[in-house]
Structure 1
Amino acid sequence: MIPKIKDTIARHGMIPTGSCVAVGLSGGADSVSLLHALLELRDELDITLRAVHINHGIRGESALRDERFCRELCDALGVPLHCVILDVPAIAAQRCIGLEECGRQCRYEQFSLMAQEHGCIIATAHTLSDSVETVMFNLARGSALGGVCGIPPVRKLDSGSTVVRPLIGVTREDVERYCTERGLSFVTDETNADTAYRRNLIRHEVIPTLRKVNPSVHTAVERFGRCAAEDDAYLCALAAEALQKAAIEGGWSADTLAALPSPLLRRCVVAITRARGCTPEYAQLELCADAVRNGSGAVMLTERLRFAVSRGVARLDSGSASQPEQQWEVRAIFPRTRLPDGRVLVFTEIDLGTAFATQKHQKLLFKNALSCDIIKDNISVRNRREGDRFAQAGRGVTKKLKKLLCDEGIPAEQRASLALIVNEMGILWTEGFGASELCRPSPDDHRVILPEISGKE
Structure 2
Amino acid sequence: ASPIRIIRPLTEYPRRQLIDYLESRSQQYCTDHTNLDTTYTRNRIRHELIPRLQQTWPDIRSEMTEFARELGALDELLESVARRWTGAHAVQKHRTFEAALDDLNALDEPLLSYVIRQLIADTLGDLRRIDEVHVAMIADLAAAGSTGASLDLPRGLIVRRGYKSLCFEIGQRKVLTPGSDAAAKVHPETPQPLAAKELAVPGETRWGTWTFEATVLEGKDIWEELVDLSGNLRIPEFDEPPTDPHERMRVFIRQLRGIDPEAVEYLDFDRIAGETLSVRGRVPGDRFTPLGAPGQTKLKEFFIRRKVPRSERDAVPLIVAGDRVLVVARLGVSDDVALTEDTRRILKISATAQDR
TM-score using structure 2 length: 0.47
TM-score using structure 1 length: 0.38
Higher share of residues assigned helix: 1
Using CA pairs below 8 Å that are at least 6 residues apart, which structure has the higher relative contact order?
Answer: 2
